[in-house]
Amino acid sequence: AQSVTQLDSQVPVFEEAPVELRCNYSSSVSVYLFWYVQYPNQGLQLLLKYLSGSTLVKGINGFEAEFNKSQTSFHLRKPSVHISDTAEYFCAVVQGGSEKLVFGKGTKLTVNP
Amino acid sequence: ETGVTQTPRHLVMGMTNKKSLKCEQHLGHNAMYWYKQSAKKPLELMFVYNFKEQTENNSVPSRFSPECPNSSHLFLHLHTLQPEDSALYLCASSRNRGWEAFFGQGTRLTVV
């Protein structure tokens, strides 16, 4: 079964610093990959997705992610974070042909002034 | 606003109560989902509906009973819940199964 690993449960950074949130998935077969963000007391909002094509995907709010098939990774990056980026970030994967969207445990990003 | 609306946003219920959570989407999606989000646990998929038919029940206890009267509406009927059922319940929809999901804001459920 497909699984998603987000190694860092919490990531504290200072405002305007770069950040990378790591995500690894278990299967190397055809997959669709997603990053979602959840602000306090809210649902999940899609940040970006990889379905096919270019391995560098750009999303909303200045975030981007790179699909690395050989390392089965889909790390999320932002070159300069803002206080408003403080939230929980979830990586998710759908294996081609499956209906299941499998989520990682999430990474809490805290941006400090 | 994602196009998926959940009501109520907050619910406190006793263990002997019966209540229902409602989810509505007007995105023209064919698949709808219930997820449970508990503290320090990954998102748990509970149920999947595709074209109003239940296609997945992820070993959910019978005290949770879903209902999907049409492709735009999804309910979760609750009865005789336990305190450990307290969580954020998220509804989502997608164009088809396995496509990107759009989430509602969730219902924060507290069982006392």
Report which of A66, A67, A59 is spatially closest to residue A85, judged by C-alpha positions: A59
Chain-centroid distance of CA A42 in Å reads 17
**∠ CA(B46), CA(B51), CA(B53), 5° rounding?**
55
User: What is the rounded distance in angstroms from the CA atom of residue A76 to the CA atom of residue A65?
Assistant: 4
Query: Rounded to a whole number, what is the distance in Å from the CA of A107 to chain B's nearest CA?
Result: 11
The count of other CB atoms within 10 Å of the CB of residue B79 is 15
Phi-psi region of A7 (alpha: psi -120 to 50; beta: other; left: phi over 0): alpha
Judged by a CB distance cut-off of 8 A, whether residue B97 touches chain A is yes
- For an interface test with B, which of A6, A29, A44 has the most B Cβ atoms less than 10 Å from its Cβ? A44
> Can you give the pLDDT of all 113 residues of chain A as single tens digits?
778 999 999 999 999 999 999 999 987 677 889 999 999 888 899 999 998 888 999 999 999 999 999 999 999 999 999 999 999 999 999 876 666 788 999 999 999 99
Closest residue of chain A to B6, computed from CA coordinates: A43
Chain B contact present for A23, CB below 8 A: no
What tens digit of pLDDT does each residue of B31-52 get? 999 999 998 788 899 999 988 8
Q: Which residues are B74's β-sheet partners?
A: B23
